Structure 1
Amino acid sequence: MSTTERKYAGDSALTRTLRRRAALVDVALAEMAENRWRTATVEALCRAAKLNKRYFYESFDSLDTLADAVIESIATEVTEAAVGGYLPLLDRPVQEQARGAITAVVDVLADDPRKALVLFGGAPTTPVAHEKRTAVIAGLTAAVIAHARTTHDVSLEQDSLASTAPAFVIGGTAQAILSWASGDLSVTRERLVDDITALWMTIEHGATELARSRLSGSATEPA
């Protein structure tokens, strides 16, 4: 039997390693959310996780790789939630699809507001972690753009709003969720989802009509 398969107290070595890794990610998340990451040490994190210091290095090379793992974990969870929220609703009206995606993302971040603070709050970490934050925003924006192509005339992509509007929507959504998670926006979770969905649809309809009018006007203007 290999080391990773050997059982101890009912758990394999691999299971125990993953549990220790998750504990370190959790305490790192707390430090980042409280804006204490710049003063974090391996020793302090292990103490908070109730782990021997040697266990840190079985999963991470440094504090930077731990910070990157925190961002990667949140980004993956949020992206999967958004996609999983609207995919089952592809045969439903666009508003229901939007609500499904928004609800799923808000649920993830509302259940643990630290994740919103770290992903959207810009807590100081590492350049790679910052890139991961930027990537998840870009990924969600791309998803909105791709979805819009299935519901609107492809010719509307010729207008700059096809790219500007989704970026505006995702950026505004991130800020609204961050403000709510920080306690600066005093609304219920349900109202937050209602408001964001309403704003998505308002911008979607307005941007579509403006793009259509722009393209129509340019088509009829004299050379």
Structure 2
Amino acid sequence: MASDVLSSNSYGLATNTHWSGVSSVPICAFKSLLYCPGSRGFVYNPSAGLCIPLLWLQMGSGGATLGSADPLEWKVFVTNGLCRNGFEAYDYGSEGHFSCFKIITSSYEYSKATTECNALGGYLASVKTVDELNVVRGLAGSKDHWVGMDDLAKEGVHIWQEDGQRLTSEQQQTVFKPGEPNNYYGVEDCIHFRGSHQNLNDVHCWSTKRSVCESAPLTVTC
């Protein structure tokens, strides 16, 4: 469980569930887990004794705001309960986006890596921004890992596994090694994180690599 200062507009709060007269962080945690067991954490204002469960961890996703309260008086406590099956939560970007990631350490071909990730309830990771690329860099280090994009259905049309969207020119310029994907020798249809360059690159799909698996955070109400 992590603690940090709560920005007044970065987190959504439970709209119908809160407690006043709460004397300590442990009591706030107990109430949140007891009455809202799927909550992703809680916020606590010790001077006011207010405790509110956290349901969302992304700007614009709804929930109450702190109003005119001084955000520096609030503390946010985030649990890792928003992920399942061994995935861990990572935040990225200036707007407090969260997603769940898991490294599959066994080396597989792209199709097998996809199957293994799907079996965990996820997909090979989407890496559409520098912020997401930085998460993958931290997870993968210097080792090559599969991510979730290929042009197997139609040559030159690269599709993200997550949502079926096409690679955009902005994404290509931002997260790929310059000049990639280039379908070298006409056999490179699958995308991986290339550890030696710390960017994305296309490669033949039958090579074996570790994988970065991703899943969406749980949606919780109470």
Q: Which has the higher strand share?
A: 2
Where relative contact order (Cα < 8 A, 6+ residues apart) is larger, the structure is 2
Q: TM-score, normalised by structure 2?
A: 0.33
Q: TM-score, normalised by structure 1?
A: 0.33
Q: Which has the higher helix share?
A: 1
